[in-house]
Structure 1
């Protein structure tokens, strides 16, 4: 491939060399093999800067280097200067893989909460009418029949385009993906225009450290999606509705409980049956029908309404929508695990104070006999999180069972001791059981009729990390093992 073909849609300056240079491969990570005559894009990251590895890259035979800083290189190496090498990588990756996004319908979902659940709902509905749909998300990437565990909500732009290309090859007509604020901030989804962009909600999160300096930046990054899509579907009820749309270039359609929304959820009611928690409501506005979900929480009315709003653009019948929503399951997101008709057991990925509070507040609305929360906190993470989560659980749950999560390089007992400092600030009862398997067994063996038990923190994860080693541990299996003795 000629270098100028990769640069075709970029603003750039050729500092030295020839843009008509033949290149063998597009590379941005020095940890991967550097093939002779490749083009290397220098990414400036939080921990590593690709510009620092230029000598090594040139020594290995790179034909061209793309930079955003001043560099001095031998004259036989082509040097391309751009304003942002992350943006350049995205645009070049799209060209490198033959612009696969143009060969599918692309759907991007952003928001603080609800991205994961909504992507699965969309995929489920579209596949009910025979639209083969790929998925890129926090839990996994799905390409046809292949399911690959995910490492990031939104992968690097090269991986995004590579995944799109594989989806096209697998016959996918559509792709639905989670679009994180970091993904937008670092141009991981640049280089193409989404057909549909979706906004679920926004709350203060991902602030500080290597993420966002403040809420304003977080909000601004989320809003970028609506300058990069053709049609935007927006939660009309969110208090930052107007700010998310600031400067938008897309057509806009809204969903929500509000009478001002284009598609509305009305008569929302909780469903509490034997061993089953769910929600029901009526869809009004652009469509009119009744919906019932076996996933608890009013927030799932938003998630499903969002999926309905999108799928209305695909002319999906009401019956197909209802069938899909009745069967959709999202691994580790308020996931009900059938154990008994007398009490409910579920697991959820809630692993910080905000998500745990939202989860427990939602479950309390179902007025359980007791709300039991089993959780721990990860090692080598903020101690403040432990104090906060302990206090929240004690305030909202009747019984907190404090156990181990991923202790990493800390001692599990030290983490538990921190959590209990927070637990003691609330009125709830608590027990500590360091072994997660035994903690889950205790919650089920001591369950009362009408209880709701939530196993929080790990969700879709199927491992426990101790001293740098990941050991197999799946909360689903632990729940079922404990239930066998009932």
Structure 2
């Protein structure tokens, strides 16, 4: 059904969002009083620069009336806003209580509700979302012969094979539905997408029901005045995926899991669980991953159906190292089973094994010294702890001398700064604090704040503003201690080719490319597994 002023009005009424339609002196709830209310919109946009004849414009965010000056001459058909702009435009305005919710609903209708033609998987959690998303897409791609799309914080893939860098963990609702329509038109049957807490906080997924929703884990993060004001608010936003899914996959390690289960019971949503290792309640898990040879990263998976029958899924040996990635793999198996992949489809379930995610657990060995560098997106207490656990598990017998090159994002998640230091300081030899996505905060303020949290007198710390120089400093320091096995952990940026500064993405070489250059390695010459060094 085409989106018109009349159909938009009825949809907004059903969701109790419409306040009134305004055009000049006409204030009404009846779209038939507005001329041409049955004319289809030709496009939808939230950017006045993209307005063309027949456009429906969403006036969201810090919108100003002056943005509409002269816009009637460009053919604007109507606008949706929380404010009456009839003083600056003659076109009809749908005045609503919440423009973001309205944008999500109306965008979905404009693009023909593409979600109804896909099996949509949504994955949330404090850590592991991206990796689990890639693992799950690999399985669903294999099961469907290449018909699984992906929305992630790293890349978007709309045809099962072509990956393009993304801007947001979860796209704006309009962009998401547009990309879903493209995916459907490309023949996709599945969509796997990351769902951030902000996606629910600012209604990027309003009105979208996931066929499978996954809640991987939970720990404090994203607490600031521009993200979540409290820990409770962060958790509440994460929990919204439960009531907005037809089936839920839940990690065993979630704190306060009882209320998540209560959410599911209230919504009438079935829950399946996954677990890594010897959890006491593994008997209740739908997917279990048990270590076979932890030093070489081999785990055996098993699934349990609703009748309690157990199916051995075989041994898994991932290209991505780290026990936490086997937890992500167990999640991907549980999600895939919930999405309809058969437990007997071994080829599909094992399709995740060769998957690598750029900027995650990428390992490089120095050609000039006994030094291993790991590039990873770790950026909070939980992920830094998991990374250090991995180093300890794999290399404890080599007594590694560890250097952590890190910064922290500006203007948000202030708690990370102390948590990163506290997670690392009694387990490493050196900190090198440097610029990350400092945005409008001076990098020196962030770095000096982090340096101030270092209380262990045995740990050295330094501040170097230029990120490539900071990495180079860590490399030269490791070479100066060639009598030891050195591990350099370069965290927070992964393979990103930009640093955010004053709301702009400033080009940046990338941690992976910097370390390749310094180590004298060819582009892409990353070690697949540190245990083989």
1:197–1:230 CA contact under 8 A, matched in 2: yes
Deviations 1:176-224 (A, max 9, x none): 0001111112221124322111110111222221222222222222222
Aligned pair 1:262/2:291, yes or no?
Answer: no
Instruction: After TM superposition, give the deviation of residue 330 of structure 1 in Å.
Output: 1.5
Secondary structure in 2 aligned to 1:254?
strand
Could you list the per-position Cα deviations for residues 351-389 of structure 1 after superposition, in whole angstroms to 9, with x for gaps in the alignment? 344532342244323325215233132575578755553
Q: Does 1:355 align with 2:383?
A: yes
Structure 2 residue aligned with 1:253, among 272, 276, 281?
Answer: 272
Greater displacement, 98-107 / 374-383: 374-383
User: Quick one: structure 1 residues 416 and 262, their matched pair in 2 at CA, closer, same or farther if it must change by over 3 Å?
Assistant: closer
1:309 aligns with 2:309: no
**What residue in structure 2 maps to residue 147 of structure 1?**
163
Q: Secondary structure at the match of 1:93?
A: helix
Aligned partner of 1:111 in structure 2 is: 125
The answer as to 2:427 corresponding to 1:396 is yes
1:438 Cα deviation (Å)? Answer: 1.5
1:24 deviates by 3.4
Using the alignment, how far apart are the partners of 1:238 and 1:373 within structure 2?
30
TM-score, normalised via structure 2 length: 0.78
Tell me the equivalent position of 2:476: 442
Partners of 1:75 and 1:266 in 2: how far apart? 60
- The answer for unaligned runs of 5 or more in structure 1 is none
Matched, 1:235 2:251: yes
Match of 2:515 in 1: 479
Query: Is 1:176 aligned to residue 192 of structure 2?
Result: yes
Q: Give the distance between the partners of 2:373 and 2:99, measured in 1 at CA.
A: 48
Question: Partner of 2:453 in structure 1?
Answer: 422
Q: Indicate the RMSD between aligned Cα atoms, in angstroms.
A: 3.5
- Would you say 1:370 and 2:409 are equivalent positions? no
Larger CA deviation: 239-248 vs 106-115: 239-248
Comparing 125-134 with 373-382, greater Cα deviation is found at: 373-382
Q: Tell me whether 1:200 sits opposite 2:200 in the alignment.
A: no
**Alignment partner, residue 325 of structure 1:** 352
Distance 1:400 1:437, change over 3 A: closer
The match for 1:280 is 299
After the TM superposition, which of the residue ranges 128-137 and 359-368 deviates more from structure 2? 359-368
Q: How far apart, CA to CA, are the structure 1 residues paired with 2:46 and 2:176? A: 15
Measured after TM superposition, the shift of residue 117 of structure 1 is 0.7
**Residues 1:425 and 1:439: Cα distance change in structure 2 (over 3 Å):** same
Residue 177 of structure 1 aligns to a residue whose secondary structure is strand
Cα separation, 1, equivalents of 2:82 and 2:470: 48
* Structure 1 residue 285, shift from structure 2 partner: 2.5
Q: Aligned partners of 1:270, 1:479: CA distance in 2, in Å?
A: 30
Q: 1:360 to 1:479 in 2, by over 3 A?
A: same
Q: Tell me the TM-score normalised to structure 1 length.
A: 0.85
Instruction: Give 3-state SS (helix, strand or coil) of 2:426's partner.
Output: helix
**Separation of aligned partners in 2, 1:193 and 1:5:** 21
CA distance in 2, matches of 1:236, 1:483: 40
Does the C-alpha gap of structure 1 residues 441 and 450 become closer, same or farther in structure 2, counting only changes over 3 Å? closer
Aligned partner of 1:33 in structure 2 is: 50
Deviation at 1:319, TM superposition (A): 3.2
State the distance in 2 between where 1:23 and 1:322 align: 44
Give yes or no for contact 2:59–2:81 (8 Å, CA) kept in 1.
yes
Are the counterparts in 1 of residues 72 and 89 from structure 2 also a CA contact under 8 Å?
no
The structure 2 residue matched to 1:135, chosen from 133, 147, 150, is 150
Contact 1:110 1:199 in 2 (8 A): yes
Correspondence 1:22 to 2:47: no
Is 1:166 paired with 2:182? yes
Alpha-carbon distance in structure 1 between the residues aligned to 2:501 and 2:63: 30
Question: After the TM superposition, which of the residue ranges 166-175 and 351-360 deviates more from structure 2?
Answer: 351-360
Secondary structure of the equivalent of 1:10? helix
Distance 1:452 1:30 in 2: 46
Q: Is the 8 A contact 1:24 1:35 kept in 2?
A: no
- 1:37-60 CA-to-partner distances (Å, cap 9, x unmatched) read 4322332x3xx1467856665675
Query: Paired residue for 2:308?
Result: none
Contact 2:376/2:490 (<8 A) preserved = yes
How far apart are the structure 1 equivalents of 2:392 and 2:491? 15
Residue 454 of structure 1 corresponds to 489
Deviation (angstroms), 1:75: 10
SS in 2 for 1:66: strand
Alpha-carbon contact 2:400-2:487 (below 8 Å) kept: yes
Given that 1:28 and 1:42 are in contact with CA atoms closer than 8 Å, whether structure 2 keeps it comes out as: no
How many residue pairs were aligned? 479
Query: Hey, what's the Cα distance between the residues in 1 that align with 2:473 and 2:349?
Result: 37
